[in-house]
Structure 1
Amino acid sequence: MLKAVLFDLDGTLLDTAADFTAVLNAMLAERKLALQNYDEVRKRVSDGARAVVSLGFQQQEGEAGYQALLDEFLDRYLAQLAVSTTLFPGMSETLDHIESLGMQWGIVTNKPARYTEPLLIAMGLDQRCATAICPDHVTNRKPHPEPIYLACKEIDCPPAHAIYVGDHRRDIDAGRNASMRTVACAYGYVSAGDSAESWGADYIVSQAADLIPLLSQLQASQT
């Protein structure tokens, strides 16, 4: 029986790419370096701040000066993490629908709690979200199933009675590793050359609003 929906955060629940782009380009502009295109940044957000910094400064982790750039980027992002961030189109209605069905919803993300928690507060989601599991709360991050197991424990819902929604292969792998049904978000931050169809998810949605009929269908099939 479907009782809960768990979401990845960046690229699935929230469209955070505009704020990542703004922070990166502010740093590049101050150094008189070429600015980065939003579309290119968007493709890298699911791989975290390190990937975004590497894109902008053409440096890799471990190279001289990289860590200072990363630290500056993260501090700047924390100061403006909800300026242009929004729910994906159709996601507000989807959350309303989940709640109307009497189900809980939560978040399992690789985004550290330092950013996740104030972001949820700024977006007015902290009181609605039944659980928000970050890497800080576990030993192993996705695609390991530990974060999903912890989320399910916190909401008192067996993994078999929940579904995990994400925009990256590791999300689908994490859900499958936890023996949970999965939904791939083709609308999210899918890397160039990748395809949501190749991840092995149980379902694929092309927009957030597609989750509404899918969840209704899954609930109806249980009655």
Structure 2
Amino acid sequence: MIKGVIFDLDGTLLDSVTDIMNSLNKILGKYDYELKNYQEVRSYLGNGAQKLVERSIPSEKDREVLNRIVSEYNDYYKKNSNIDTKPYDGIMELLEYLKNHNYKTAITSNKIQEGVTSLNNDTFKGLIDVAIGERVGLKLKPNPDMIYLALKELNLNADEVLYVGDTEVDLLTAQNAKLKSIAVTWGFRDYEVLADLNPNYIVNEPKEIINILKEV
């Protein structure tokens, strides 16, 4: 019996590309790197800030420079993460349904913990029970450690949870944690990319997740 749902954040619950792009370009411009457009940034997302920066400036091999840019990006983004960011259509209704029907919920994200906490508190206002982001000592997805921590905090077993995400990183995370997965098509990856990874379900609208929960 399914008792909980674990979500990715960016591209699954939140349309956050514009704020990420603007924060990234603010720092790239400071150092005279080429600025990135919406589609480029969208394609770079899923593996955390370090990979976002590395994919944005692949010619830069100096680790000290990369680390400085990542740090400055994180600092700037913390203060500018909720300007144009908003839930996708139907997400709030989905979360309210889950809360009203006593499903436990969590976020696991490769975004820094401060950003995850802030967006969760400001946007979802108590609809999500647990919010886990990048922190010291916790490996990033697709390593399953974030899932294991979420399961522990929710007091649920893997077979009692569905995992919802929008990228190959999310689906690999679900596989590694032995969770059934739902891939969403409104996020950062196209249908074909998601289908190749054989998720248990693929949905085009949040309300379809409610239908799945009624069936499993």
Query: Which TM class, normalised by the smaller chain length?
Result: 0.7 to 0.9
Q: How far apart are the structure 2 equivalents of 1:33 and 1:116?
A: 27
3-state DSSP of counterpart to 1:190? coil
List runs of 5+ in structure 2 lacking aligned partners.
none
Match of 1:210 among 200, 208, 211: 208
Give 1:157 shift.
Answer: 1.3
Q: Which amino acid aligns with 2:195?
A: E
List runs of 5+ in structure 1 lacking aligned partners.
219-223
Q: Which amino acid aligns with 1:129?
A: I
Q: Kindly tell me: are residues 76 and 104 of structure 1, through their superposed partners in 2, closer, same or farther at Cα, counting changes over 3 Å?
A: same
Report what 2:194 is aligned to. Answer: 196
Give 1:175 shift.
Answer: 1.8
Q: Which amino acid aligns with 1:208?
A: P
Q: State, as a whole percentage, how many aligned pairs show the same letter.
A: 28
Total equivalences in the alignment: 216
* Native 8 Å contact 1:89 1:209 kept in 2: no
Q: Kindly tell me: are residues 3 and 73 of structure 1, through their superposed partners in 2, closer, same or farther at Cα, counting changes over 3 Å?
A: same
Report what 1:145 is aligned to. Answer: 144
Q: Kindly tell me: are residues 207 and 44 of structure 1, through their superposed partners in 2, closer, same or farther at Cα, counting changes over 3 Å?
A: farther
Q: Kindly tell me: are residues 47 and 146 of structure 1, through their superposed partners in 2, closer, same or farther at Cα, counting changes over 3 Å?
A: closer
3-state DSSP of counterpart to 1:134? strand
TM-score, scaled relative to structure 2 = 0.87
3-state DSSP of counterpart to 1:109? strand
Q: Which amino acid aligns with 2:101?
A: L
Report what 1:3 is aligned to. Answer: 3
Give 1:113 shift.
Answer: 1.0
Larger CA deviation: 99-108 vs 44-53 = 44-53
* Native 8 Å contact 1:148 1:178 kept in 2: yes
Supply the RMSD in Å over aligned alpha carbons. Answer: 2.4
Q: Which amino acid aligns with 1:9?
A: L
Report what 1:81 is aligned to. Answer: 81
Larger CA deviation: 204-213 vs 7-16 = 204-213
Q: Kindly tell me: are residues 69 and 134 of structure 1, through their superposed partners in 2, closer, same or farther at Cα, counting changes over 3 Å?
A: closer
